[in-house]
Structure 1
Amino acid sequence: MAFEIEEATIADMQAAFASGELTSRQLVLGYMNRIADHDKSGLLLNSVLAINPDALFIADAMDRERETSGPRGPLHGIPILLKDNVDTGDKMPTSAGSLALADSYAPEDAFIVKQLRAAGAVILGKANMTEFANMMTEGMPSGYSSRGGQVMNPYNISTPTGGSSAGSGVSVSANFCAAAVGTETSGSILNPSNLCSVVGIKPTVGLLSRTGILPLSNSQDTPGPMARTVTDAVLMLQAMAGYDDRDAAMGGGIGRQPADYTAFLDKEGLAGARIGIPRDYYFEELTEEQLAIFDRAVGIMKEMGATIVDPANIATARSIVYSTVLLNEFKASLNAYLAKLGPGAPMRTLKEIIAFNNEHQAETLQYGQKTLINAECHSSGTLTDVRYLRDRESDIRLCKEEGIDATMKEHRLDALLFPADFGSRLAARAGYPSVGVPAGYTKAGPPFGVCFTGRAYEEPTLIRLAYAFEQATKFRRPPSLKSFID
């Protein structure tokens, strides 16, 4: 195949399809070869958990459709990986990385998967992830699952991948797919995007449907795209968008979503923008090297015409402490999801999963299951726990109303700018959107990025800012994928 697959954008692929240089079948085979060379041998990145057995058949169908009636749109014939908590009603299970759910087959596609298929995307397979989106236990490394093993960072295998969408981030960065779907509850898209030098869009909760996604938190979960460029991430976002009346969270977005998110890909998007930097609290863990990368990014934004409000501190930042919301919502959400899988499902409750793990400890409990047990034993599953109710109110007030909303209003901001994913917990509890973009690399190899955060349904503004910064800098460079032995 003459087509250069490494770092190819979706537009590059469509141009090659149109010229006859490339077919979807060839592209799927090209990615499968890269996965064989670098994910399952070579560096053993271990980011891809399963290949769709029908991927080549779907690619053939898309090639034939292109010949007979033309492409459906920009994702026609494009190979996509899904995080392993996203349902597919096909021959692949949805396990969230758990051996207990290794034989759990969904009755139908998740809503966003139906949208992707309708757009012509080829579901290439499932990406490995931190088991149960890091609700398995304490002390387990990000990117580890009992079913899939440990995902490795392609820039430096001795550094973390971030989680829980580790496989999605690594597979995109290492060019094992055109783009991927991740999910975020509190940093699970933004964290691996930062550490894998890719673009991650964490949407407003309710912008994209959660129906058919194995849940962690009803109030904070959202799927989102991960890609090598802002444009490709936006194309994914556009394809997945659509109203789903089965997800109650979507009602708040009626009339607040643009018809076309690509309209906000503006190279001059930073000109005149007001961007605030919450210096207090969020910069305490930065190394001097990381701080230098961040400050360089801020300088570039100034040169591009942005007004930088520094500091634009969040008054509640140090008041946002441990919350029981996730622990309580996990049990309730997971049990509801499992109950809908039907009588043939291998697991019907969180309690059954814990029992399975106890019966197969050598395979499933390398790091234990403390968090699963805590969720089962220390929450009612009815969301009536006093601490839960108070924590939910506190999260909304401190993160949203007195946090992001108050700071942006006070300083008349278009967005907040955080180093890496350090503001992800704040935005997650508020249910607000963020876009992470590569900003450089440390000497040891691990990437470092910046993250634009805004209020609900302000994705168009964040896309405009992120795209302008990306186009002016183009900091991303692919990992070499060469082992130290080489």
Structure 2
Amino acid sequence: MRQTSLAVLAFSLLAFPALADDHQDAATNAEQQLERIASLDDAGPMLNAVIVFEPEAPNYANEASEAGMPLDGRTVLVKDNIETFEWPTTAGSIALAGNGTGRDAPLIANIRANGGVILGKTNLSEWANIRDNNSTSGWSAVGGLTRNPHATDRNACGSSSGSGAAVAAGFAWAAIGTETNGSITCPASVNGIVGFKPTVGMVSRTHVVPISATQDTAGPMTQSVYDAALLLSAMAGSDPADPATADADKYRGDFTEGLADYSLKGVRIGVMRNQIGSRAGVTARFEQALSDLEAAGAVLVDVKYDWPEGFWGRSLTVLLFELQRDMNAYLGTLADPAMPDTLADLVTFNRAHAAEEMRWFGQDLFEQALKTTDAAAYREALETNLKATREDGIDRLMAEHDVQFLVAPTTGPAWSTDLVNGDNYGGGIGAGSLPAIAGYPHLTVPMGAVEGLPVGLSIFAGKWQDHAVLKAGAEYERARTAKLPAPSFKPWSPAE
């Protein structure tokens, strides 16, 4: 059942330009989006991307547009691990079904203050896909299974599955996702949209259900690079409650500035050949994207990166140690005595509600996190992997090869959803863990399709290079020659 409530708009403005001249009436857009949610999310193919929406959104969009606010009443859907004052924030779990905090996360307050209308909450992989190794991305006990609008029997990827599917389906102008390791870029890629994971610290994480203070960030998911830059301009900024954002105000600003005029002529770009993977269709689309970049004037340079020995084990140690520490801290901010207090409480809750919570997969990662308490081992793993992805990773590759950006395919096409057996990634495609663990910016832009299933091009660079990455993505978008698929809202079938 949909929950509804009134929303409010704050009226402090940031300095970035008004929307493009062809932007339709904000209230009309919101009305059409609500109609699409009713016909495609609640009925028809039943994408299950949106779990709650605001029926008064057209009125709020009109108010913001008339006030001349920067986002001009554009609608934004929010992943349901980010607090908004009017709805519970559940992270997909019935353990938090009553988690109505009555507060906005600072990133949400920033969006409202700049004329964005919070349209509703999107489904996600429960607990942002950190509960169990055998999970099915896009499923939560609160929202059920999110379906990919390009092929409803295929996965929308996690954990920002609902945000990716909703934007692809036209349910809102944009959505907010969160990423720890691929959870913005993967769903953006397989749903055929733009996704941007900012530098960790560009956007506040306060009042966002956490996994890892080292890697967590929210970011925009949109139909174009310009829109992602526009929304990031409204979201970003320093927050005294989040020390990682101390320098954000130095690097934020108008991220749309210069996008239209940026040129890749003479720009050296590193091509991560070891991360292309083994799927011929993805390789073909990637080679076409490389040709488009060359046609735009870029100079392509092959670069090589090998994952260090023990890297993935250390990465898991970091995530599980921070999961318990950071989840306990978040739960400790909840005033409602009915809410769980610790990660251990969540484990106990899931056992007591196994029929609803653990029919399809368990909670082995939660349980393992309770045992990951060696602080010295955690610090060693963290320092080793940060060095491997920063000074020995992205920073080294860019310096040694004198390149400004690195590119690779983002991931493979969407796999068939299988609640019984869980996810089926595979293919060895992508390098998204490098910027995710380093905390550096990562943009994915659609680069075509494989058998009608979208795939994306990853572009990333060094810390605080968010604006540069967005400009490169905008120029690739203009140069792209690949045909992009439209959502079918049907099960996948082979092309004739």
Q: Name the TM-score, length of structure 2 as normaliser.
A: 0.87
* Aligned match of 2:311: 320
Q: CA deviation at 1:110?
A: 0.3
The reply on whether 1:360 has 2:341 as its aligned counterpart is no
* Aligned match of 2:52: 50
* Aligned match of 1:101: 96
Contact 2:152 2:490 in 1 (8 A): no
Once the two structures are superposed, what CA deviation does each residue of 1:235-266 show, in whole Å capped at 9, x if it has no partner?
A: 110000122111100124453x1531111313
Once the two structures are superposed, what CA deviation does each residue of 1:373-398 show, in whole Å capped at 9, x if it has no partner?
A: 1112x123xxx533212110111111
Once the two structures are superposed, what CA deviation does each residue of 1:393-444 show, in whole Å capped at 9, x if it has no partner?
A: 111111111111111100111110011141111111111111100000011x
Contact 1:267 1:471 in 2 (8 A): no
* Aligned match of 1:481: 489
* Aligned match of 1:466: 473
Q: CA deviation at 1:482?
A: 4.4
Contact 1:270 1:306 in 2 (8 A): yes
> Which amino acid letter does the alignment assign opposite residue 321 of structure 1?
W
Within 2, Cα distance between the matches of 1:427 and 1:111? 24
Within 1, Cα distance between the matches of 2:477 and 2:261? 9
Q: Secondary structure at the match of 1:263?
A: coil
Question: Equivalent of 1:441, from 449, 452, 457?
Answer: 449
Once the two structures are superposed, what CA deviation does each residue of 1:90-130 show, in whole Å capped at 9, x if it has no partner?
A: 2x110111111111112410010000010111111100000
Cα separation, partners in 2 of 1:164 and 1:357, compared to 1, 3 Å:
same
Q: CA deviation at 1:358?
A: 1.3
Contact 2:99 2:339 in 1 (8 A): yes
Within 2, Cα distance between the matches of 1:175 and 1:333? 34
The reply on whether 1:72 has 2:69 as its aligned counterpart is yes
Q: Secondary structure at the match of 1:181?
A: strand
Within 2, Cα distance between the matches of 1:39 and 1:62? 21
* Aligned match of 1:81: 77
The reply on whether 1:218 has 2:220 as its aligned counterpart is no
Contact 1:198 1:476 in 2 (8 A): no
Contact 1:137 1:368 in 2 (8 A): yes
> Which amino acid letter does the alignment assign opposite residue 108 of structure 2?
V
Cα separation, partners in 2 of 1:291 and 1:76, compared to 1, 3 Å:
same
Q: CA deviation at 1:142?
A: 0.8
Question: Equivalent of 2:148, from 128, 133, 153?
Answer: 153
Q: Secondary structure at the match of 1:261?
A: coil
Pick which of 326-335 and 419-428 moved more: 419-428
* Aligned match of 1:3: none
* Aligned match of 1:401: 391
Contact 1:440 1:449 in 2 (8 A): yes
Give the alignment of 1:52-451 within 5 angstroms: 52=54, 55-56=55-56, 59-64=58-63, 66-67=65-66, 70-73=67-70, 75-90=71-86, 92-253=87-248, 255=250, 257-280=251-274, 282-284=275-277, 286-310=278-302, 312-316=303-307, 320-322=311-313, 323=315, 324-366=317-359, 367-376=361-370, 378-380=371-373, 384-421=374-411, 422-443=430-451, 445-451=452-458
Once the two structures are superposed, what CA deviation does each residue of 1:196-237 show, in whole Å capped at 9, x if it has no partner?
A: 110011000001111111101010000000001011111110
* Aligned match of 1:4: none
Once the two structures are superposed, what CA deviation does each residue of 1:34-76 show, in whole Å capped at 9, x if it has no partner?
A: 1111112211211111113xx51x5424424544xx3111x12
Q: CA deviation at 1:315?
A: 4.9
Cα separation, partners in 2 of 1:403 and 1:61, compared to 1, 3 Å:
closer
Q: Secondary structure at the match of 1:164?
A: coil
Alpha-carbon RMSD: 2.0
Within 1, Cα distance between the matches of 2:136 and 2:245? 33
Cα separation, partners in 2 of 1:416 and 1:319, compared to 1, 3 Å:
farther
Within 2, Cα distance between the matches of 1:97 and 1:466? 32
> Which amino acid letter does the alignment assign opposite residue 42 of structure 2?
K
> Which amino acid letter does the alignment assign opposite residue 35 of structure 1?
I
Identity %: 35
Contact 2:151 2:490 in 1 (8 A): no
Within 1, Cα distance between the matches of 2:249 and 2:115? 25
> Which amino acid letter does the alignment assign opposite residue 396 of structure 2?
A
The reply on whether 1:452 has 2:459 as its aligned counterpart is yes
Within 1, Cα distance between the matches of 2:113 and 2:74? 12
Within 2, Cα distance between the matches of 1:400 and 1:356? 39
Cα separation, partners in 2 of 1:172 and 1:413, compared to 1, 3 Å:
same
Within 2, Cα distance between the matches of 1:459 and 1:106? 32
Q: CA deviation at 1:164?
A: 0.4
Q: Secondary structure at the match of 2:398?
A: helix
Within 2, Cα distance between the matches of 1:214 and 1:155? 29
Within 1, Cα distance between the matches of 2:336 and 2:356? 26
Pick which of 182-191 and 34-43 moved more: 34-43
Contact 1:433 1:457 in 2 (8 A): yes
* Aligned match of 2:414: none
Contact 2:237 2:245 in 1 (8 A): no
Q: Secondary structure at the match of 1:125?
A: strand
> Which amino acid letter does the alignment assign opposite residue 45 of structure 2?
L
Within 2, Cα distance between the matches of 1:482 and 1:335? 41
Structure 2: runs of 5 or more not aligned = 1-17, 412-429
Contact 2:154 2:491 in 1 (8 A): no
The reply on whether 1:35 has 2:43 as its aligned counterpart is no
Q: CA deviation at 1:305?
A: 0.3
Cα separation, partners in 2 of 1:371 and 1:65, compared to 1, 3 Å:
closer
Within 1, Cα distance between the matches of 2:105 and 2:338? 17
Within 2, Cα distance between the matches of 1:476 and 1:303? 19
Contact 2:164 2:187 in 1 (8 A): yes
Structure 1: runs of 5 or more not aligned = 1-9
Q: CA deviation at 1:28?
A: 2.4
Within 1, Cα distance between the matches of 2:307 and 2:183? 23
